[in-house]
Amino acid sequence: MVKRKLKALNYHSADDFDINDFNHFKNLILWLEDQFIRLYKIEDRDGLRDVKSNQWMEHYKKYCKDLESPIPYDNKPESLEWIVGLAVRQEYSDGKEKYEKQTSALLAASKSDAPVVTSSNPLDNLDFHSEEFKTGVNSLAKILKVTPSPDHLVTLEAICSLVANSINSTDNPESKQGKPFPIMETDLGFDMGDYVLNQAAKVLRLLYIHDLRDLQTKINETIVAVQNITANPKTNTKLGKVGF
């Protein structure tokens, strides 16, 4: 987290910063004070500037006290986290108007450039968290004698499971009935010299085909998931960025 904030502040050694290196720590504290926090006058920063002094930690202790840091000064990781956060807030406060204009311009540009995508799925227009929808789910659960859950979406999932398990293809005379493939009667394509081995090979082939179909289903699901991401209207291929 500290490195991300340091990159936001354009710290020259953000990638190489090591919290366990005391010299890195001292140089960073001095840089933050010089560039952003500016609590002391320039001439009053000599204690922090003398990074080779054995008394540097005492000056840092006083610095944390003057900053009114709620973190103990000797807890360097958390203390540094707080000071870096203070520098970020100070930088934003100093350039608030500039950053607000940049953010507003970015939002306006993203809205104007994004194509309008109209979904043909009526379910996309439903508000699944509205009171009307929750009432409808609970009413349906009561009719189907499904015990409602505090989470209406869990209740809806239970209803779907009940309906799916209750559907009987014989109730629909127009439903198409599949015909089992006579795998055990087909020609294997080679002869292992033993009837039992031939039948076992057919079973293994059937299991292999089943695994292939399952793999194909997962591949198709993955392709659809990737397409949903790459089809995001806010995707910017020039920036290598998906979505906003």
**Which of 25, 93, 91 has the alpha carbon at shortest distance from 64?**
25
Sheet strands (E) in 136-175: none
Report the pLDDT value the prediction gives residue 244, as an integer from 0 to 100.
Answer: 45
- 62, 56 contact by CB (below 8 A): no
The tokens for 241 are: 């960025």
**Residue-wise pLDDT tens digits, 2-29:** 888 898 898 988 889 998 999 999 999 9
**Residue-wise pLDDT tens digits, 158-197:** 898 888 777 665 566 666 667 777 777 778 788 888 888 8
The tokens for 156 are: 């809806």
The list of the chain residues with pLDDT below 50 reads 239-242, 244
The tokens for 207 are: 């299991």
Question: Rounded distance, CA 91 to CA 80, Å?
Answer: 16
> CB count, 10 Å around CB of 69?
16
Task: Give the dihedral sign, CA 226/228/232/233.
Answer: positive
Residues β-bridged to residue 241: 236
pTM: 0.42
> CB count, 10 Å around CB of 155?
19
**Which of 65, 28, 33 has the alpha carbon at shortest distance from 46?**
33
